[in-house]
Amino acid sequence: MYEVNADSCIVPIYISSILHYTNKPTDNEAIAQARQKIQNEPLQLSKEPRMIGNKGGFDMFRELRAAIKKLDDLNAKVKSLEDVEELKELNGVNELISRSRFSDLYIDVRKARNQATHGANIKFHRKLLDLPSHDKGKRHACVEGFVSTYDFSPAVFDSHFREAPEKIIKLVNQRSDLYHLYAYTRSSHHQKEITEMKAMCNEIISVWISEKATTISVELDGKISAFNHLHKLWEEEEYRRR
């Protein structure tokens, strides 16, 4: 995926748009005039921590930050579209291989497709709840399904998981899969390990919520690593038996 970053190459261009130049200046001219604008105004304290400057500097900072946020949102939308295309490809490849003589040789393809199609995706499901096409009854049903899938409400997601690190989001999805995905619920050989993995996920998620965490502590990271190790062992043994 191609991402547009607010690096030093676009800053002079953005400064030009903020200061409303009629003729496009050179990069050095834009930066020099922006510096002059900032230096000619009195300093003031910002409501944000550890920041001091003047109105021109704060205005420019806020504009740049807003632009970066817009770019991040755009990149997220592009990633979502790419995920849809990837899912279409996985479905198509799996469909063709499943009808060939070599289907048993490509278990990984089937596994990737099944996980992408049926596996939990809490960020995607949370977005679905806000679709404008929902009437009251449909949204209520979707919210109920969300709670059933993830064992907490959309409000809890908004408070504790909307900005959570990817490791935490992945674990939330994996916990849901352990309870709902056919690959786990139908397993007859490793229910003890599955029960243990459920308990590990429940503990990590409970700690994340109760401590109102925003970053992963060393202790929590160790628990996540232990879960990933057990899950890998289970996965390898499960596919070995097939």
pLDDT in tens, the chain (242 residues): 333 344 444 444 444 454 555 566 676 776 676 666 655 555 554 555 455 555 666 677 777 777 787 777 777 766 665 665 665 665 555 555 555 555 555 555 555 555 555 578 898 888 888 877 667 888 888 899 999 999 999 999 999 999 999 999 999 999 999 998 878 888 777 788 999 999 999 999 999 999 999 999 999 999 999 999 999 998 888 777 66
What's residue 31's pLDDT? 66
User: Alpha carbon of 199 to those of 105, 134, 152, 192, 195: distances in Å?
Assistant: 34, 35, 16, 11, 6
Specify whether the CB–CB gap between 34 and 15 falls below 8 A.
Answer: yes
Specify whether the CB–CB gap between 37 and 56 falls below 8 A.
Answer: yes
Residues shown for the chain: 242
Angle of CA points 145, 148, 152, to nearest 5°: 110
* Single-letter residue type at 153: S
pTM above 0.85, yes or no: no
Name the β-bridge partners of 52.
Answer: 45
Q: Is the Cα dihedral 172, 173, 177, 178 positive or negative?
A: negative
